[in-house]
Structure formats: C-alpha cells, structure tokens
C-alpha cells in the first residue's frame, strides 16, 4: 500500500466507527438503559464485569470507569470464575456479561451461579435471542451494522460501541449521584488528571 492508501484506510475506519456510534445513539432501548443506570446507581454491593477477547477488554475498561465514579467494580476472568472466583459474587452484586454474539461458551456457566446467588444479571450483546440476552434481568442490545475491516470480523466498532454506551451511562451516573471533583481528586491524585483536579481545588 502507498502512504496515501494507508492514510485513506485509517480515515475511513475512523469515520465508519464514528457513524456506528451515531446510529447507536438513536437505536438504544431507552427503557433498558434507564433500568441499567438505576441498578448501577442503587447497587449495594459491587459490579463484576466479564467477557472474552475484545469483550473482555471492554469489560476491564468499563470496570475502571465505574470505579472512577465511586461505583466499586472489578473485572473477573471467565476462566478463573468457574474455578472458584465466582465466590466473589454475592447477593447484592451485579454481574455484567459482555458477549458480541451472546452465546460465548465460557460465559454461559456463570449464569446458573448468578441466579443461585440472586445477584442481578446484566447481559450485553447484539443478539436478543441469545442465551445471555434471554437469561439477563436487564438486557442491553449493542448492535453495529458492520465492522470496518473488509472481512467484517474484527470486533472494533462493536467493542467501541459497548464502551461508548457504558461511558454514557457512567457520565449520567455522575449527575445522578452528585459526584464531585473533590471525590474524584481523592481517588485520582496522580497523572495529568490528578494535577488538574488538585490545581482546581487549591
């Protein structure tokens, strides 16, 4: 490829991903989003997120963002979950399963344990007929028309869409809970963000 062709491909990908997010903003199920935001705001325990592959990367990012706004959250490896780590899940917790297709085999064994422990289950996928969607107490459908790569296989736009939806929920939660700069400064005192926060509070 020439330099110009490389740059053209990069720009096309960015534009297509941006378009996917614009469409997602118009197609999200409002009732489900409101239920998820309410559940997260009123969670008396912690939020446990899990997924495989790029969905796992999204789960880690969302867990970090929730923790940043004082909603205790963590990522749980699906492989370790079925070897004892499910013990971290308790009745007042929320379990979030993220799976593009909604039938990820590593995640399905977590569903019975979640039901037995009476924790709340939030399912995130593009397939409302999937096992995760049908088992969830709250189901968030995150659908993109296609991935930007020529094979429509790399979970790029779809992963970005999942993170964007939860970014929106998290930002709404800061308003719902009255989250302050002072609170953020306590848990984020370092880095460029910490410097800005501390300077603002001086």
- Please give the mean pLDDT across all residues of the chain: 93
Per-residue pLDDT of 30-65, as tens digits, reads 999 999 999 999 999 999 999 999 999 999 999 999
Pick the CATH number of 3-201 from 3.30.450.30, 3.40.50.1820, 3.40.50.2000, 3.40.50.10490: 3.40.50.10490
- pLDDT at position 187 is 72
**Are 98 and 55 spatial neighbours (Cβ–Cβ below 8 Å)?**
yes
pLDDT higher than 80, residue 192: no
List pLDDT tens digits, range 2-35: 999 999 999 999 999 999 999 999 999 999 999 9
Pairing of strands 47-51, 94-98: parallel
Cα end-to-end span (Å), the chain: 52
Average pLDDT of 156-177?
96
Label residue 170 by pLDDT band (50, 70, 90).
Answer: very high
Report pLDDT digits (tens) over 98-141.
999 999 999 999 999 999 999 999 999 999 999 999 999 999 99
Q: What is the mean pLDDT of residues 57-81?
A: 96
DSSP string, 28-61: S-HHHHHHHHHHHHT-SS-EEEEESTHHHHHHHH
- Per DSSP, helices labelled H in the chain are 3-27, 30-41, 54-68, 78-81, 110-117, 131-135, 157-177, 181-187, 191-201
Helix (H, G, I), strand (E, B), or coil: what is residue 123?
A: strand
Residue 193, both tokens: 């963000």
pTM of the model: 0.91
pLDDT digits (tens, 9 = 90+) for 134-147: 999 999 999 999 99
């Amino acid at each position: 490829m020439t330099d110009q062709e490389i740059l053209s491909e990069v720009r096309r990908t960015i534009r297509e991903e941006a378009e996917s997010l614009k469409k997602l903003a118009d197609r999200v199920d409002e009732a489900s989003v409101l239920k998820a935001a309410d559940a997260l705001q009123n969670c008396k325990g912690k939020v446990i997120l899990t997924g495989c592959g790029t969905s796992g990367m999204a789960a880690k990012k969302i867990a970090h963002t929730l923790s940043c706004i004082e909603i205790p959250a963590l990522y749980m490896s699906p492989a370790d979950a079925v070897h004892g780590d499910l013990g971290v899940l308790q009745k007042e917790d929320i379990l979030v399963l993220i799976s593009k297709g909604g039938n990820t085999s590593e995640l399905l064994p977590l569903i019975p344990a979640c039901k037995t422990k009476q924790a709340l289950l939030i399912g995130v996928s593009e397939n409302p007929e999937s096992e995760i969607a049908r088992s969830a107490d709250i189901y968030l459908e995150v659908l993109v028309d296609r991935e930007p790569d020529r094979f429509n296989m790399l979970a790029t736009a779809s992963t970005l869409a999942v993170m964007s939806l939860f970014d929106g929920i998290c930002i709404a939660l800061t308003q719902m809970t009255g989250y302050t700069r002072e609170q953020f400064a306590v848990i984020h005192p370092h880095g460029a963000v910490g410097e800005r926060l501390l300077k603002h509070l001086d």
